[in-house]
Amino acid sequence: MTARILRLELRRSAAAWLALLSTLTLVSYDEVGEGLGSIAGLQRGELLSWIPLALGVGAWQARRDRRSRTEELVATTPLPRWRRVLPTAAALGIGAATGSLLVFAGLTVYGVAVGAYLPVFSVPFAVVTAVYLVAAVWAGLAVGRVLHFRLAPPLLVVAGTVAMIMVALSLDDEGGGTGPSPGTRLLEPSQSNLGPFVRITWPVIGAQALWAVGLAAAALILVTASRSARLAAIVPVALALAAALPLLPRFAHEGLVLDPGAVALVCTPDVPRVCVTRAHHRALADMREPGREALAIMAAKLPQAPTSVVELFSSPGGPLDVPPQTDTIGTWLMNDDTGRVAVPARDVTLSLLIGAGTQPCENAVISWGPVYDTARLVAAAWLLDEEPPSPSSLDPNWWGWLPDRTQTLSAYQRLRALPAAEQRARVAALREAELACDGRDRLGILIGPGGTG
Amino acid sequence: VRPLALYLRSRRVPAAVAAAVAAVAVLWPLAEAADDPTARAMLGLLAVVAGTVAAGPGLAGADADLDRTAAVAWPPRRAAHLVAACAAAARIVAATALTGHQLAAAGRVARDAVGMSGLVALGATTLGAGRAWLVPLTWTLVAMTLVAALPPSSAATPQEVLTWMLQPADATPATATAAVLGAAGLLAYAALGARP
């Protein structure tokens, strides 16, 4: 009998609509190529929008009997309240969870098809996301039970959105005067800072799962319990908190760790080595040729040239802590949503040669301004043996930082006007200064009067 | 005056106005306290959305069949109702400017009110007046996730159209989208009325 009612409710309630609405989120996924961890994190972040919407759908569903003017009639049946509303709540919960999990499953299939990195933790992570959504739709039912005026569902959506934004804002104090966020921040439903190289620790996933289940149970009690028994909703929340808190780290950023599987290097089998991370392994095919070209150019033109190209990555919460290496060109990938490199091979070669194959020093652009980038770009242009490119000829998404062309062109011509051996010595000196990150004026090294020192 | 007052009451205008004013009353201090400009713009947008969706249930009378039997020309009246609701929603949010601390810039309020009213009207003609709120709110929330997922520099026209309500006031594609939605909603609602 109950199964029959549940089937009826699945067809008659807003459950299917809710599942359908969730699939709308598919338009906003653009990082499938970065692996499933990023996708699961993105989906969690979207709870910022989906929790309010689920609240509204729940509140809308709660008004059904009143809308059809059968509220009193239904209330006269001898069934206790929980038996009357449980099938509806179950149907809505199934709708919410199905929609969210279907989106994840669809993205997983796509990820498998394109050969993306698929870390295991993303599966329980996505399940927790679905449980949060179920809790939200039940909370909507609970609110709709109390507020039955016509405008309650839309106003609840607005209020829910405002609440989610305010909570996110009030907790968003990274880098503020208050120090790192406490670990409890990981219990904020839409909180996720998962990048391609980051995974969330198992205890934190466990804590989030307990918290989500506790919230869902509390909402279900509010929906089904009689007026006096509703206070019992505090119990699952308190229990979930008590169980989850010991699992959380002291600071939120400690819950996110570098995923060794994602940052493991995938290299070309033969020398010279060109390596990318496992998460970005699809980009290797696009990096091989430009990488080798850049290495060959450096070997031909500079002393002590690097012998391999390696993708860089930063660890969560911390700055990049890869020391500059003389035998390696470190690079950040310019990749698109499928994980392939988004720019032509020529641009990749140019980007590898910027600063004569070095990464910019920390805060150098801030302290020196565009002159710093000018010097680095001129070094690349000299290595390529062509005039520095005009920023307007390149994709502004990647090259928006390029300095003004008149600056780079005149610096390039002044470098070119020097004797050949001097040119080579000056670019080599720039490379040394960049690797050491010393305080010398880079443009002065390249074209200044006494820049060879 | 009496027929007008009765009409307004039958279309639940007092509740809609109260909801719109309450939304502004809650969101305004929050926006004043928020120092993040994106959050401020978002709260201003939400105030406009709340005001326009509050007018949604009033897009249908209590008895559609009874309305239909009346010997009056409904299309111009429906159009006037929608325009007035849109103007009222925009006014209520824009009124905060009188104090010198506006909740949202007038240009954005006007654009968002026109676009959102169009969406509410389209929602009323397709889903029914009671569910009209679903269309503007879903679009706004999906656009929010879309903007969060995209890099801030990307401002291609399709994205500006999809996220029109979150664009700055001088974005032409966004303004055009709002105008098209407003016109489409006005035409559809005036011609067809709310779905029963």
Q: How far apart are CA A274 and CA A294, in angstroms?
A: 11
Strand arrangement, sheet containing A328-331: A265-267, A273-277, A308-311, A328-331
Residue A249 to chain B, least CA–CA distance (Å): 27
The residue among B137, B153, B165 with the most chain A CBs within 10 A of its CB, best to mutate, is: B137
- Two tokens at A144? 């709709």
- What does the pLDDT average to over A416-437? 85
A173 confidence band (pLDDT: 50, 70, 90): low
pLDDT of residue B53: 95
| CB A185 within 8 Å of CB A203 | no
In DSSP notation, B53-101 reads HHTSGGGS-S-HHHHHHSSS-HHHHHHHHHHHHHHHHHHHHHGGGGGT-
Between CA A397 and CA A386 the distance in angstroms is 23
pLDDT band at A120 (very low <50, low <70, confident <90, very high): confident
Give every CB contact of residue B73 below 8 A, 6+ residues apart in sequence: none
pLDDT tens figures, B57-95: 999 988 888 888 888 899 999 999 999 999 999 999 999
Q: Is B148 close to A21, i.e. CB distance below 8 A?
A: no
Q: Kindly list the residues of chain A whose beta carbon comes within 8 Å of any beta carbon in chain B.
A: 21, 24-25, 27-31, 42, 45-46, 48-50, 52-53, 56, 60, 67, 149-151, 153-155, 157-158, 161-162, 165-166, 169, 396-397, 400
Please list every residue in chain A whose beta carbon sits closer than 8 Å to the beta carbon of residue B36.
Answer: 169
The Cα of B145 is separated from the nearest Cα of chain A by a number of Å equal to: 6
Give the Cα separation of B146 and B159 in Å (integer): 9
To 5 degrees, how large is the angle CA A56–CA A59–CA A60? 85
The beta-carbon neighbor of B141 closest among A42, A49, A155 is: A49
**In degrees rounded to 5, what are phi and psi of residue A251?**
-120, 150
pLDDT-wise least confident of A23-32, A110-119, A301-310, B6-15: A23-32
Instruction: Find out whether A54 and A18 touch, Cβ atoms under 8 Å.
Output: yes
Q: Which two tokens stand for residue A1?
A: 């009998």
CB contact under 8 A, B141 and A45: no
- Among the listed residues A128, A76, A100, the one whose alpha carbon sits nearest the alpha carbon of residue A25: A100
Under an 8 A CB cutoff, do A48 and B145 touch? yes
Could you tell me the pTM of the whole model? 0.86
> Six-digit token pair at A294?
């850049």
Residue A343 pLDDT > 90: no
Query: Which residue in A45, A149, A151 is closest to B148 by CB distance?
Result: A45
- pLDDT of A420 over the 60 cut: yes
Chain-chain contact of A157 with B137 (C-beta, under 8 angstroms): yes
From A28, A52, A158, residue closest to B23, measured CB to CB: A158
Q: Chain B partners of A22 at a C-beta cutoff of 8 Å?
A: none
DSSP symbol at A410: H
| Contact residues on chain A for B137, CB-CB shorter than 8 A | 53, 56, 154, 157-158
- Tell me which residue in A50, A149, A153 faces B133 most closely, judged by beta carbons: A153
CB atoms B138 and A24 under 8 Å: yes
Residues sharing a CB contact under 8 Å with residue A452, sequence separation 6 or more, in sequence order: A422, A425, A426, A429, A445
**Whole-number Å distance between alpha carbons of A137 and A61:** 10
In chain B, residues with a C-beta closer than 8 Å to the C-beta of A173 are none
Specify the higher pLDDT residue, B56 or A367: B56
Nearest C-alpha neighbor of A219 from the set A93, A94, A126, A101: A93
List of chain B residues whose C-beta atoms are within 8 Å of the C-beta of residue A21: 138
For residue B65, the model assigns a pLDDT of 84
Query: What residue type is A158 in one-letter code?
Result: V
Burial class (CB in 10 A: 0-12, 13-18, 19+), A80: exposed
Nearby residues of A298 by Cβ (< 8 Å), 6 or more positions away: A305, A306, A329, A353, A356, A357, A383
Determine the distance from the C-alpha atom of residue A332 to the mean position of all C-alpha atoms in its chain, rounded to a whole number.
Answer: 16
CB contact at 8 A, A234 and A218: yes
* pLDDT tens figures, A254-285: 888 888 888 888 888 887 888 888 888 888 88
Residues of B in contact with A158 (CB under 8 A): 23, 46, 49-50, 53, 137
DSSP code, position A26? G
Residue A110: pLDDT band with limits 50, 70, 90: confident
CB of A169 closer than 8 Å to CB of B36: yes
How much is the pLDDT for A175?
A: 43
Overall average pLDDT of the A118-147 stretch = 92
Cα-Cα-Cα-Cα torsion B164, B166, B167, B172, nearest 10 degrees, comes to 20
Question: How many angstroms separate the CA of residue A192 from the nearest CA in chain B?
Answer: 13
Per-residue confidence band for B15, with pLDDT thresholds at 50, 70 and 90: very high
Distance CA A413, CA A418 (A): 9
Report the C-alpha gap between A40 and A26 in whole angstroms.
12
Q: Which of A48, A158, A193 to mutate to test the interface with B (most CBs of B within 10 A)?
A: A158
Å between A224 CA and nearest CA of chain B = 25
A273-277/A265-267 β-pairing: antiparallel
Place of tokens 């009689």: A226
Interchain pair B142, A169: CB under 8 A: no
Instruction: Quote the ipTM score.
Output: 0.94
DSSP state of B167: S
Our CA angle for B85, B159, B130, nearest 5°, is 30
pLDDT at A451: 41
Least confident of A33-37, A242-246, A265-269, B37-41: A33-37
Instruction: Give the pLDDT score at B70.
Output: 85
Contacts of B150 in chain A (CB under 8 A): 28, 30
Evaluate if residue B41 carries a pLDDT over 80.
Answer: yes
Average the pLDDT over each of A117-126, A211-220, A272-281, B147-156 and give the range with the smallest value.
Answer: B147-156
Average pLDDT over residues A133-149: 93
Using an 8 Å CB-CB cutoff, list chain A residues near B138: 21, 24, 53
